[in-house]
Amino acid sequence: MGTLLSDADVIERIFHHADNNTTDTGDTIWREPTENYLSPERFTAELELLRRLPVPFCPSAALPDAGSYIARDAAGVPLLVVRGEDGKVRGFRNACRHRGMAVADGSGYTKAFVCPYHSWAYGLDGALKHVPGPEGFPGLDQATHGLVPVHTVEERAGMVFVTQDEPVATDTLADIPDILSADQVHFDTIELVDKANWKLIAELSMEGYHIKALHNRTFYPYGFDNLNLVETYGPNSRITFPFRRIEKLRDMPPEQRRVDGMLTYVYQMFPSTHVSVLSSHSMLIILEPISPNETRWVIYRLSNNGAERKNDDSVEKAKRDAEFIESSGLNEDRDAACSIQAGLATRANEHFTFGKFEKGLAHFHTNLRDYLALLDGR
């Protein structure tokens, strides 16, 4: 386990790297077999792992009131999460107990979930409340026919974590900082599908070695070339991407320095999620594997943390910031991941080599290997 640096220490470390033309580096070289991006067997094991670890499902801010719900697939399973009248968030398998049809779709607000097939109705707590024509189901015990809950739902760090099945480990949330807050404004959700393995997409946000080359006209003019802080805690990590304008802080007393607008923090939530805290908005990005070569992005976009940012002007500024990210750097990342996936068909590489500038990637793949081994005792 590790403790993340304070904002003040982050600033000082960035200045040290800038002055010495250095960056955080790892101790090892990692070689990841390319077959792990293609293998159906490996993909099946990864899905099982995603179902047996606490994985963010949505930000708490996306479920602001009792009756707020989100229904979508997670690790290939249709799920439903809802905030109850008691304020507690619960998660269920999105299948009616009569004939299995989904009882909810998308997101919104409701007082009850009514199956569109035969109108069986369920409360926000998942309990079966009404069966039309009860005489047609003699002996039906409504108490045992509620929606089937997932193993665990937990709100933490401004996010709703769902563990679908019996957990293979319980330590992945240790030392998680308060990244998000339920007070933030969730202003939209977008979904994207790309022809790339989920790990290829995840890897893009774990290192800054590619910034100058891949984002030469979008991110690089505002940032540094290969200058990052890489901190690890448990299987998770935080990658810091400083902006050039952080130099404005040099002549300020340390106690007056603030990181807002001076850098981007990217919190990697093992295994398939990250939170980017940018200049004017935050993104919770959840990667949902569809197949070995296809992935759905689920992106929740929010105003940045802090009550003072909840005014209309700040939300509009957050939306503009989000539009810039979506139309520029995000598309460059997506194209890169898809190109790598297509290139796997060449069989030119038996493995990918992650060097010392890619410390976060070595940390990720080491943990993914070790947690997958827990599934069957390998």
pLDDT tens figures, 1-47: 458 999 999 999 999 999 999 999 999 999 999 999 999 999 999 99
What is the pLDDT of the chain when averaged over all its residues?
94
**SS3 assignment, position 202:** helix
Domain ranges in the chain? 7-52+173-376, 55-163
Helix %, strand %, coil % of the chain (to 5) = 30, 30, 40
Strands, E, within the chain: which ranges? 30-33, 55-59, 68-74, 77-83, 89-93, 106-109, 113-114, 121-122, 128-130, 152-156, 159-163, 186-194, 229-233, 236-242, 263-269, 273-277, 281-291, 294-303, 351-354
pLDDT tens readout for residues 109-125: 999 999 999 999 999 99
Kindly indicate the confidence band of residue 312, based on its pLDDT and cuts at 50, 70 and 90: low
Q: Which CATH fold topology does 55-163 show?
A: Rieske Iron-sulfur Protein (2.102.10)
Q: 7-52+173-376 has which CATH code?
A: 3.90.380.10
Instruction: Answer yes or no: is pLDDT of 174 > 80.
Output: yes
Residue 171 confidence (pLDDT): 86
Instruction: Answer yes or no: is pLDDT of 284 > 90.
Output: yes
Residue 267 confidence (pLDDT): 98
Task: Identify whether the C-beta of residue 14 lies closer than 8 Å to the C-beta of residue 242.
Answer: yes
Calculate what percentage of the chain has a pLDDT beyond 70: 97
pLDDT tens readout for residues 139-160: 999 999 999 999 999 999 999 9
